[in-house]
Structure 1
Amino acid sequence: MLSLLKGEGGTNFIAWGITGSGSFIRKSFEVLKRIKERYGVKITTYASRAGEEVARMYGILDRIGEISPGRHYEELITEDVAGASCTYSGRFMLGRYRLLVIAPATSNTVAKIVYGISDTIITTIASQALKGGVPIIILPSDATEETEVPCYIDRERCTNCMECIDKCPFGAISELNCIPILDLMKCHGCRVCELTCPEKAIFCFQKAKIKIREIDRENIEHLREMEGVTVVESPDQLEDVIARTLGESY
């Protein structure tokens, strides 16, 4: 049975925290977008440094404006914007948000929340949300044994034609020793390379199996036991719990 503490204050604001995991990130974005459209809520997006990088390479960062267009309480707040003291975390103590959604949450983030460590923008706002009585919904990246990997070049299929270098609008692919090299730190996940490669040698967001460590399973269970925290296991469940928290079920 899923249970949540009801947010107080009647505000129409929710916060979304992005960590450095690609698993579920694209589906989580679509969930938040539908929630915004259905309920008219204002969404503040908080991203750790790793979260900002991953959001870019999975094609989400360039679309953040669709849910957080930049107005008050609809900003994209990164570590560089918030500063080392995370000045925006005070919003949670003031009860401005109905809830905080952290999706996906890396195993590192889960462990830090469980053990009370607040050294990133996401773990800091989680700590402040708990202190301020703001419900938290968390989708751990290790909730399932499946993940998505960012764009990559299949060397067995690639014929080194170099067409992808010219096609990439962000200069993320370059030539090194007559081989095209994809730099994920420049990749925006637009999939232009994948869609235009004549050899079908580039793949984006392919499914992959992972082995969940026992320590990560244990931390997720500890997370479930925390007051004010609800753990979900899929984007569909995430959407359902958010909807019920906002007063309506899909």
Structure 2
Amino acid sequence: MKRIAWGITGSGDLIKETYDIMVDIKKKSNIEIMVFLSKEGETVMKWYHMWNDIQKDFPNFKTDAGPNSPFIAGPLQVGHYDALIIAPTTANTVAKIVYGIADTLVTNAVAQTAKGSTPIYILPVDQKRGTVKTYSPEGREMVLKMREVDVTNTEKLAQMENISILERPDDLYDLLGISKDQ
């Protein structure tokens, strides 16, 4: 059985798509998924009216009480999990990872996991220059312009050791060996 640690940051962009895919993967496989949320991840789940869903679909999820609480960095570092997935990932979290700041549960998990051999997969929301379409919690379409600094940080993240970039939520199917149409 595969064990995956899935970290959720405060990104509203791609949260619904990513969440639906992870629920689908959970239903189609025997992959054990341990979910943990940054403080902002918890805020966004509530803002997007998904708080009840996460409690139902992933009842043993963990929330950020500090950079090392709950203690998940150790099990990630020693290989208790087959992979660490951070999806979706805010520009703030990407910047902190790129510059070695490990002051939240998610950024500390990445920093400590990178010291071991557990692979890290990150889905940044700010990947390409230009604009992207996303949706508000009410489902209204919005167009956001990507900032140069955020895209540059994503490019730096892609060069870091033991970190692979996911381009879109659907990449999770291939990563975990699950058929989308199963």
Q: Common fold, TM-score beyond 0.5? A: yes
Measured in 2, the distance between the counterparts of 1:43 and 1:111 equals 26
For residue 77 of structure 1, the aligned residue among 44, 47, 62 is 62
User: How far does residue 37 in structure 1 lie from its aligned partner after superposition?
Assistant: 1.7
Aligned letter for 1:224?
A
* Cα displacement string for residues 186-221 of structure 1 (whole angstroms, at most 9, x for unaligned residues): xxxxxxxxxxxxxxxxxx122211111111111111
For residue 146 of structure 1, the aligned residue among 133, 140, 146 is 133
Q: Does 1:36 align with 2:26?
A: yes
- Residues 173 and 179 of structure 2 are in contact (CA less than 8 Å); yes or no, is this contact kept in structure 1? no
Please give the residue correspondences for 1:87-106 in structure 2 after superposition, counting only pairs within 5 Å: 87-106=71-90
**1:170 maps to which residue?**
none
- Residues 137 and 238 of structure 1 are in contact (CA less than 8 Å); yes or no, is this contact kept in structure 2? no
**1:119 maps to which residue?**
103
Counting matched residue pairs gives: 176
Please give the residue correspondences for 1:186-201 in structure 2 after superposition, counting only pairs within 5 Å: none
Q: Does 1:223 align with 2:157?
A: yes
- Residues 38 and 63 of structure 2 are in contact (CA less than 8 Å); yes or no, is this contact kept in structure 1? yes
Question: Which ranges in structure 1 are unaligned for 5 or more consecutive residues?
Answer: 1-10, 70-74, 151-203
- Residues 4 and 33 of structure 2 are in contact (CA less than 8 Å); yes or no, is this contact kept in structure 1? yes
Could you state the TM-score of these two structures normalised by the residue count of structure 1? Answer: 0.65
Measured in 2, the distance between the counterparts of 1:55 and 1:48 equals 10
The higher radius of gyration belongs to: 1
Identity %: 39
3-state SS of the aligned residue for 2:126?
A: helix
User: How far does residue 66 in structure 1 lie from its aligned partner after superposition?
Assistant: 4.3
3-state SS of the aligned residue for 1:133?
A: coil
Measured in 1, the distance between the counterparts of 2:173 and 2:162 equals 18
Root-mean-square deviation over aligned CA pairs = 1.8
Question: Which ranges in structure 2 are unaligned for 5 or more consecutive residues?
Answer: none
CA gap of 1:43–1:67, structure 2 versus 1, over 3 A, is farther
Measured in 2, the distance between the counterparts of 1:136 and 1:84 equals 18
- Residues 114 and 222 of structure 1 are in contact (CA less than 8 Å); yes or no, is this contact kept in structure 2? yes
